Amino acid sequence: MLMRLLFDLQFGDRIVTLLAALVLVLQIAMVAQGWIVAHIRIFAAQSFFLSMIAATIAWYNHAPHIYIAAVLTLVVKVILVPILFERLVVRMEIQREIEPIVNVPLSVLISGGLTLVGYVVAESFYRPGAAGLGHNALAVAISLFLIGFFTMINRRKALAQVLALLSLENGLFLAAISLTYGMPLIVELGVLFDVLVAAMVLGILVYRIRETVESMDVSRLRRLRG
C-alpha cells in the first residue's frame, strides 16, 4: 500500500502542493517579520521545503539530476547562507529591522494580492488533462517572485533586501523545476554557485555599508552624494 502511494502521481501532486503552500506561507511570514535573525531562519526553512519539492519532483519524474539540485539547495541555502548571515548579524550587533516603507498589515495585504496575481498568471500555463506536478508549484513560484520583489522595495535595511533577493531567486528555481522538471545540471550548478558567491559578496557589501554610514538603512546612502 505504501509503495503504491509512493508511485501514485496524484499523491505526489498533493505532496508538492502541501510543500508549496508552506513555502508561500513562509514568504508572507518574511514580509510580516521585523527581526533580522528570524527573517534569516524563515528563509532557511523556506529553502528546506523548496529542496523537498525538488526531491519529490525528481522522484516522480525519474530525474536524478534534480536530486543533486535538491541537495545543493539544502547545503547552500539551508546551511551555508544562513550561517554566513547570522554571523554577520552578530558581528554588526543588529537585531531588529527598522520600519519598512509600507506598514506590516498593509504589506501582508499587498502580498495576498500579489499571490492572487501569481495564481491568475499561472492559470494561463495550465492545460486541462496534462499530467505533472507543476500546476500549483508554478503559481507559488510566480507569487514568490512578486512578493520577493515587493519586499526588496519595501525594506530599508540592506541585509533584509539581500534576503528578499534570495527568496526571489527561490521563486525562479521553483518555476524552473515545476515547468521543465529541472534545467541542465551544469546550469543548476552554476546558478547555485552564483547564489553562494553573491551571498558572500553582498554580505561584505552590507558590512561595508554599516561601517561607512553607521547604519544598514540604505536610504542614508544619499549623504554620500557629492
Within 10 A of 83 (CB to CB), how many other CB atoms are there? 12
214: left (phi over 0), alpha (psi -120 to 50) or beta: left
3-state secondary structure of 157: strand
Give the integer Cα–Cα distance in Å for 188 and 125.
23
H or E segment and range at residue 19: helix 9-32
Q: At what angle do helices 81-92 and 158-179 cross, to 10 degrees?
A: 170
Residue ranges covered by each domain of the chain: 25-220
130-174 pLDDT, tens digit per residue, is 445 556 788 888 899 899 889 888 887 777 778 888 888 888 888
What is the average per-residue pLDDT within 167-182?
78
The rounded percent of the chain whose pLDDT value lies above 90 is 15
24-51 pLDDT, tens digit per residue, is 999 999 888 878 888 889 999 999 999 9
98-117 pLDDT, tens digit per residue, is 667 788 889 899 999 999 99
The phi and psi torsions of 183 (rounded to 5 degrees) equal -80, 170
